[in-house]
Chains A and B, each alone.
Chain A
Amino acid sequence: MQPDRGVLGVFAEVTDAARAVRALREGGHVEIRFAAPAPFPELVEALGRPRSRLDSVTLSGAALGVAGGFALCVGTALAWPLMTGGKPIVSIPPFVIIAFELSVLVGACVNLGALAVGAGRARRRRAVPFDPRFSTDRIGVFVVGGDLPEAERTLRDGGAEEVRHVA
């Protein structure tokens, strides 16, 4: 996919990159992205993006698992009502175990699906120019739109090893 037009700064230190991102935001830049080899929370925090909304999807999956677990147990017990050991046909305590296991199973699978969809869509919408160093030892901060010469200066002042324009 063709990346947007902007300025890319390459950083060796995460603290420098985070500082540059904050300075860019203070300078009025709105569209700032980065690519990094590790999950640096300070960078994500500096970007000021809202928390991922995977929660609601994942928790809905877990709730679906609980409902599905109880439905499976109760439904199959009623479909073949065999009394054993004098216990009720619909015995809730043992069914809680199946409901719990299915809540974890369905919740985890939905979480995986949500991650795949969310990360895939984000990759297309907020692309950063590819550089193999960004999966090894460097952090790329990419500024899209706005005052690009000013963004270039901020990146250089922030300690970027190299800065280049992406057409």
Chain B
Amino acid sequence: MSAAASAAQGIQAKVLATQGRPRAGHLLLIVVAGAAAALGAWAEWIQIRDGLRVSGLNRPVGWAIYITDFVFWVGIAHSGTLISAVLFLLRARFRTAIYRVAEAMTVFGVMTAGLFPVVHLGRPWFAYWLFPLPNQRHLWVNFRSPLMWDVFAVSTYFIVSAIFLVVGIVPDAAALRDASRGWRRRFYGVFAAGWRGTDEEWRHYARAYLYFAAFATPLVFSVHSVVSWDFAVSILPGWHSTIFPPYFVAGAIFSGIAMVVTLLVPLRKVLHLEELITSWHLDMTSRMILLTSLIVTYSYLIEAVMAFRAGPGTELSILAYRATGPFAPLFWTMVGCNCVFPLFLMGSRVRTSPAALLCICILVNVGMWLERFIIIVTSLSHDRIPFDWWGIYRPTIVEAGITLGSFGWFFFWFLIFVKLLPAVSISEMKEEVAHEVGHAA
């Protein structure tokens, strides 16, 4: 058998092996994630029953942990499209082994993010008001509001990401369909959509995939810019800043790639994918984390410089409040997690050590959640209107339960996904090894 055919068979066998019956540990994780999601649903039920008084929201802090969670999960969702679309257009080879995980993470991340505006409403039965639906009184949504831009941006992002994920799976599902029996064969057959891998199918597929990538690329930059405008177009000190769109996009990519690595490191171990997702892939991914960490650090510095250049006033008082006020421990933890710890990635040994990488990426995830909390809560907490001066926000157990539930919801779907559908792109890996073998020969 030729080297290329043997390598292709090896890739397919490795991925097929990940699709077998889940082990007890995997099932336990699904149960734990499902239980956390159920806890979150129960906490949400309490909030629906008793109203938003069970949350820590107060005057002036009317946006807090739910909006933090929303921005965090939208940010997490960003790297998937970056890795699958932007790096596809840039022909970055290292994306091949990791983009499927990133794409799945994007879809489940947006599914999680989308829950929070509804949770934040307090009265979720009015959520349909967010959409421009014809109604008897001809009351339409206000398209001049950034909240409406958000509805369209996040909905579009979810649909396009889901299409991108499912289209990418088609050739792989066909390969698994032809190698499976029983219900799995029928299951993969649904995703394969009759795929036979003929020249005409590949001809249309390659063109369509290029267009999906071309459509998804501006979305990477637009969606988090739109999310940043939720804050930046207001006149609140701490929010009203022109640097917000690039700052938010860099932060989203930073946190998203950190989450990809947080998922990849245990995944490659548990599913025995070390030969497909190698240290080189981790190394290249961690370089992106380092780059985006430096951009985020630069943004923090620019914010401080702008506050100092503005002189004594609101911007400087917000900066001082964040750095020395009641939220200072969270602020300095954020700086440590997002600006200091990622610097260890300058060392090549750290970049290729899965354990070290996992620790840094978990810290980055913590830091980026805190960043959103600091931006949202401290800016509102330090108000300037005489009748609702300053207020301290403390999350309640209900809010903590809903936040924990969001992590459970995300991991529940992700853990099911990696057991039902290929976590690595089989067809693109085959193409890559065929070319590697060809070049070597």
User: Which residue numbers of A lie inside 8 Å of B, CB to CB?
Assistant: 12-15, 33-41, 43-44, 47, 49, 51-52, 54-55, 58, 62, 72-73, 76-77, 79-80, 82, 84, 87, 91, 94-95, 97-98, 100-102, 104-105, 107-109, 111-112, 114-116, 118-120, 122-123, 125-128, 130, 132, 134-138
Contacts and interface: CB of A to CB of B under 8 A. Distances in A.
Nearest to B206: A39
A44 B210 CA distance: 15
A43 B434 CA distance: 12
Contact of A136 (B138, B142, B175): B175
Interface string B123-146: 000000000100000111111100
B300 interface: no
B74 to A, nearest CB: 14
B208 interface: yes
A131 to B, nearest CB: 9
Please indicate which of the listed interface residues A14, A41, A91, A108 has the most CB atoms of chain B within 10 Å of its own CB: A108
Nearest to A77: B143
B193 interface: yes
Nearest first, the 10 A-B pairs at minimum CB distance are: A122-B200, A76-B140, A52-B207, A38-B431, A132-B178, A137-B8, A115-B208, A12-B2, A137-B5, A38-B430
Interface stretch (B38-46, B112-120, B214-222, B247-255): B214-222
B211 to A, nearest CB: 5
Given A97-B149, A104-B216, 13 more contacts: A12-B1, A38-B171, A54-B204, A58-B211, A77-B144, A80-B138, A94-B144, A108-B212, A119-B201, A125-B200, A128-B198, A135-B195, A137-B5
B194 A33 contact: no
Contacts of A91: 144
Nearest to B138: A79
Contacts of B139: 80
A120 B204 CA distance: 10
B5 A114 contact: no
A84 B208 contact: no
Interface stretch (B152-160, B366-374, B386-394): B152-160
A108 B159 contact: yes
A79 B218 CA distance: 31
B143 A73 contact: yes
B197 interface: yes
5 contacts: A14-B438, A37-B427, A52-B203, A80-B139, A104-B216
Nearest to B178: A132
A118 B204 contact: yes
A135 B173 CA distance: 10
B384 interface: no
Contacts of B8: 37-38, 136-137
B9 interface: yes
B349 interface: no
Please indicate which of the listed interface residues A13, A101, A120, A132 has the most CB atoms of chain B within 10 Å of its own CB: A101
Interface of B: 1-2, 4-6, 8-9, 12, 132, 138-144, 148-149, 152-153, 155-156, 159-160, 163, 167, 171, 174-175, 177-179, 193-208, 211-212, 215-216, 218-219, 222, 226, 426-428, 430-431, 434-435, 438
Contacts of B199: 33-36, 43-44, 47, 49, 126, 128
Contact of B132 (A12, A41, A62, A72): A72
Contacts of A80: 138-140
A123 B196 contact: yes
Contacts of A35: 196-199
A51 B200 CA distance: 10
A125 B167 CA distance: 22
A44 B431 CA distance: 13
A13 B4 contact: yes
B2 A13 contact: yes
A104 B426 CA distance: 28
Given A52-B207, A137-B5, A137-B8, A119 B178 contact: no
A127 B205 contact: no
B215 A107 contact: yes
B179 A132 contact: yes
A125 B198 CA distance: 11
Contacts of A84: 142, 144
Contact of A130 (B1, B9, B196): B196
